[in-house]
Chain A
């Protein structure tokens, strides 16, 4: 047999821009990637370092190849290989036993933004077939405040416009978001072109001077988590100086009077005291934003991951509403999920209070419709959220956790507490491509196929539904996640509800169950690599711009709900005088399960370091490259110091891809249950010797 070389089109498995490229495979073995300049796709052929290295981790020797059963202590990572039959049988037996003994509420499931929509759909269906709504995914820790905040104001959390619109924006605001490092292709192909070629003004809100802030005309550097003060002061300026779009607000929003009354006291001078940003700069930013004519305002985890995140998102969204920047060309509003299918997983109903299609659990009509199609009842009681699951395990309420393609033992805040929970849970199953930190605690580990090793659909942050195709064979006995779940469902006696023989079967069911996805059929997505933007109610329709007619609130008007200031979850004091925050390296992804195992990436971004302002460093006698002890009320880490003028005084920052979350607090946002991941109070000292 000759060397059959094939090029297969895939969606990039890292961030949520939705880049496509080819995997070149030789007889099922991935040989290299090739850039796609043939099609009209979002990345125009371009890729970031993670994209270029996207296949490196596929054939890493650490890949899981057979099901494993724990033989050592939890967390120790000692396992023996078992057969698929044994593994599935044991899981089914144990889940049934726990359900019998403690009730369905003792079971919980975690889905994944790294798996396809088909797989997340099957997982939540299985959880519900077992009688529980304890089903969650990591969106709770990245986007949930944006979903809640924008949901309350606009009725929909999605990115409002297609990427091209950013090229026409007069002002771009990047708030708590550093796309030059998190989404380089989106930055280079759209934002940078708008700035350098089309003279857009850039306003950046970030405590660090990032690669993105390098391009800023106005850079506001608040203390981490005090962004809400800036947003409220900008609202104050926009309202008191009457810079808002009066016609738009009169016609399409309600609640201006209440909002105006509330923000009256939040002057730029007040915000300066809270955030440390000069009042004049806040005023200048507000005026620049409000008078631009068209604006793109993009937020990310710098806004989202705080205990006051929902309030901040609401205030920022209300700025956009006041200025009438919705439903037009040349504007954009949205939060940018970290992972390539963050939006898709959520839409599948992976949420303790949500049905597929993001309908609330109490939406009776939809519930009945879905129950009828499925053939079984959806449990009534809302489930528990991600971070709250840890407390539920420690309290003995949650006995079994089934984890698909995600790594909570490294992603959760206050990791020592999380580790305690994983040590004490009665039964833990992890299904993944590597033996993650979480898998080391598991009773059974199941080897999953990686993204390029299966057909699947993902939804990018642009609301674009795209198909990715199987481009390589999975190693050993690893299987696609949906196939594993179907095997388990059959063993549990739910075979009739899970009668799928390929990913297309599942997608067709999704087309029937979730109306906004009715038109994203397998046939359409295979024919059209660029995909389609949801909502796509039929095969000929897609919706590039949201809110052209009205908002998706019950009465179609934006709700200008008054927001009061609230501090982030933990602020510095005498004992812990520094603000601690985190950031990402362009070459690493989340908990590093894949990127730390990618040779070209780990070589270039080998270790973490903590950024400290040069004046603070001088005061503490710390020189560049010294080892420093970073201590919070939860834990301490020893990191190398990077002395820099690019972070504001009083703030220190480290990347979160390593052990950062030992330091963070698990205080939650009251609306979205988002933990305070982006700031904590800490103290710094030089490690002598």
Chain B
């Protein structure tokens, strides 16, 4: 089953705990918080696309999907040609200037191997970052609304309440 990091924009307070946690694990932060003038903020990392352009263009097959669906880089195969960085619609893979190979989020493969959450998700104080299967995460988020619908039965009121929110 493919697992990803989902972002609840509503909950992000731009504290950058995710960036610092990622930097602690990997030496360089692979997630970044973008802040906008109206005080909204978005933590943004690799989307680990179902049909990942970075993987498709890699000439040496250095990128592959692991069992959890994360797009991971094999540093021994990478030749630093930058093709993945060019192909990525989100500009995620970056060149590691020191080693001259690419660097990208692997959903903390070493932590997942120990049964832990990715570092950014572990840290996030507001739980704006969630790690899991899309159906589970969606159900956790929307389930409350569905439960309210069942509970109250009055569809108009609930819809109003939902729209106001």
Chain A residues within 8 Å of B, Cβ to Cβ: 32-33, 35, 37, 43, 45-49, 51-53, 180-181, 184-185, 187-189, 192, 196-197, 209, 211, 214, 586-587, 600-601, 604, 644, 646
B24, B37, B39, B125: the one contacting A187 at CB < 8 Å is B125
Q: Which of B12-20, B62-70, B78-86, B95-103 contacts A (4 or more CB under 8 A)?
A: B12-20
Interface readout for B1-36 with A: 1 if CB under 8 Å, 0 if not?
000000000110111110111011000000000000
Contacts of A586 in B (CB 8 A): 13-16
User: Does B127 interact with chain A (Cβ within 8 Å)?
Assistant: yes
| Chain B nearest CB, measured from A235 CB (Å) | 31
With A196-B10, A646-B39 known as contacts, the answer to whether A188 contacts B19 (CB < 8 A) is no
B11, B15, B126, B128: the one contacting A49 at CB < 8 Å is B15
* A196/B11 in contact, CB under 8 A: yes
Most A CB contacts (10 A, CB to CB) among B15, B19, B24, B124 go to B15
* Minimum CB distance partner of A183 in chain B: B125
In the complex, chain B residues 81-133 whose Cβ is within 8 Å of any chain A Cβ: 116, 122-128
Most B CB contacts (10 A, CB to CB) among A181, A587, A600 go to A600
Number of contact residues on B: which range applies? 20 to 34
Bound Cα distance from A350 to B29, whole angstroms: 42
Contacts of B15 in A (CB 8 A): 48-49, 180-181, 184, 586
Contacts of B17 in A (CB 8 A): 46-49, 51-52, 184
Chain B residues within 8 Å of A, Cβ to Cβ: 10-11, 13-17, 19-21, 23-24, 37, 39-40, 116, 122-128, 144
Bound Cα distance from A628 to B108, whole angstroms: 44
Could you give 6 example pairs across A and B, Cβ below 8 Å? A35-B122, A46-B17, A48-B123, A52-B21, A604-B20, A644-B37
Contacts of B20 in A (CB 8 A): 49, 52-53, 587, 600-601, 604
* A46/B13 in contact, CB under 8 A: no
Bound Cα distance from A46 to B128, whole angstroms: 12
10 shortest A-B CB distances, which residue pairs? A188-B126, A188-B125, A49-B20, A180-B13, A185-B125, A184-B125, A35-B122, A184-B15, A46-B125, A52-B21
Bound Cα distance from A109 to B51, whole angstroms: 65
| Chain B nearest CB, measured from A338 CB (Å) | 16
* Minimum CB distance partner of A601 in chain B: B20
| Chain A nearest CB, measured from B97 CB (Å) | 16
* A48/B125 in contact, CB under 8 A: yes
With A35-B122, A52-B123 known as contacts, the answer to whether A187 contacts B13 (CB < 8 A) is yes
* B126/A35 in contact, CB under 8 A: no
Contacts of A43 in B (CB 8 A): 125
Contacts of A601 in B (CB 8 A): 20
* Minimum CB distance partner of B29 in chain A: A600
* Minimum CB distance partner of A46 in chain B: B125
* B16/A192 in contact, CB under 8 A: no
Contacts of B127 in A (CB 8 A): 46, 188
Bound Cα distance from A47 to B19, whole angstroms: 12
* A184/B24 in contact, CB under 8 A: no
| Chain A nearest CB, measured from B47 CB (Å) | 23
Bound Cα distance from A39 to B127, whole angstroms: 18
Contacts of A181 in B (CB 8 A): 13, 15
Bound Cα distance from A644 to B23, whole angstroms: 30
Contacts of B124 in A (CB 8 A): 46, 188
| Chain A nearest CB, measured from B88 CB (Å) | 24
A45, A51, A196, A214: the one contacting B39 at CB < 8 Å is A214
- Given A184-B15, A187-B126, 17 extra CB contacts under 8 A: A46-B17, A47-B125, A48-B125, A51-B17, A52-B17, A180-B13, A181-B13, A184-B125, A188-B11, A188-B124, A188-B125, A188-B128, A189-B126, A196-B11, A211-B39, A587-B16, A600-B20
Contacts of B40 in A (CB 8 A): 214
Bound Cα distance from A46 to B13, whole angstroms: 14
* Minimum CB distance partner of A587 in chain B: B16
* B122/A184 in contact, CB under 8 A: no
A32, A189, A604, A644: the one contacting B16 at CB < 8 Å is A604
Contacts of B19 in A (CB 8 A): 49, 600, 604
Most B CB contacts (10 A, CB to CB) among A32, A184, A601 go to A184
Most B CB contacts (10 A, CB to CB) among A37, A49, A197 go to A49
Bound Cα distance from A181 to B116, whole angstroms: 27
* Minimum CB distance partner of B124 in chain A: A46
Bound Cα distance from A672 to B96, whole angstroms: 55
With A600-B24, A646-B39 known as contacts, the answer to whether A211 contacts B14 (CB < 8 A) is yes
* B11/A192 in contact, CB under 8 A: yes
